[in-house]
Amino acid sequence: MMEDKKKIVEEVIGYVEARLSLEEGLDLEKIADNAGYSKFHLNRVFSEVTGCTLHRYVRERRLTEAARKLVQEKASIADIAWEAAYQSQQAFTLAFKQAYGCTPHTYRKAGIHKELRAREIVQKQAGLWRCAA
C-alpha cells in the first residue's frame, strides 16, 4: 500500500517539475485531474508520504527556482516574481523573506544560492524525500 502511494507521489512530483516554469499555473485541481484522483485524496497521500502539502511543495520549489535565478540571472526581481507565479513583487518579497530570511534584493547582492527544495529530492537511498519540519 505504501509503495503505491510512493509511486503516486513520484508521478505527481514529476508532473510538477515538468511544469514548474510554465505560465499555465499549477494548482491542486489541475495536478489532481492529471493524476486521476480527487484533490483531497491526492493531497492526503502526498502529505502522508512527504510530510507536507502539495501546495507547500510547489511554493517552495518555485521559491527555490526564483532564488537560483536571482543569483544566476540578470532578470528583474519583478520578472522573477511573475515567473514564480506571484501576482505582485510585494507578495513575492514577503514569501521570499519568510522562506529565506532576507529580501530578494539582499539575497541577490549576497550572491550565494541556497535551495529550499532541490530537483533531485524525489528519491534518496532510504526512499522518497520528506519535507523539512
Q: Kindly state whether residue 133 falls inside one of the protein's structural domains.
A: no
> How many structural domains does the chain have?
1
Taking 90 as the threshold, does the pLDDT of residue 40 lie above it?
A: yes
Q: Which pLDDT tens digit goes with each residue over 75-131?
A: 999 999 999 989 999 999 999 999 999 999 999 999 988 777 554 444 443 345 455
The parent domain of residue 38 ranges over 2-128
Q: Kindly state whether residue 106 falls inside one of the protein's structural domains.
A: yes
The phi-psi region of residue 101 (left if phi > 0; otherwise alpha if psi is between -120 and 50; otherwise beta) is: left
Tell me the whole-structure pTM to 2 decimals: 0.81
End-to-end, the C-alpha distance of the chain in Å comes to 25
CATH number at residue 51: 1.10.10.60
